[in-house]
Amino acid sequence: MSRTKVLFICLGNICRSPMAETIFNRIITDHQTQNEFYVDSAGLISYHQGEMADPRMRMHAKRHGYDITHRSRPIRAHDFDSFDYIVAMDDDNYERLYDLAPTLEDAKKIVRMADYCTLPGVSYVPDPYYGGDQGFERVIEMLENACMEFYHSIIDS
């Protein structure tokens, strides 16, 4: 059986996408389906390449029982070949990914994280980088909800 490969994307790969990767990994572990998935995250820019997630995101993640171990990396052209789902955190990420997609078939792999969020009024996952503690907490709440719904959409399909 082939594994479903999921790549979470945000701008710098230091806040939202590594948090989504960590949450999704917890979900597949809790559901004992980790052998059915390969999960990673990346950024649209390489500015933070090799860095751990933002210390504030790691701190808030710890408060929720998560340990983010991912190191930032930029998206690569071959990621479009390698992954089944490329999950954008906001519309800007989505549009930039669409522009990067080598083919129309590859572009069909791009989905919006917020499309899976059932919390009221969520149309994108905002970047908490320039905000305070509340922004990081809200992003974790959104991602926990959206990742669970995304997981079920894959498993149930």
- The catalytic site residues sit at 10, 16, 127
Measured distance between the N- and C-terminal CA atoms of the chain, rounded to whole angstroms? 15
Give the Å distances, CA to CA, from 58 to 8, 55, 95, 119, 124. 17, 5, 27, 23, 21
What does the alpha-carbon distance between residue 130 and residue 72 come to, in Å, rounded to a whole number?
A: 18
Q: Tokens representing 22?
A: 């960590």
Q: Which of 40, 88, 96 is nearest to 68 (CA)?
A: 40
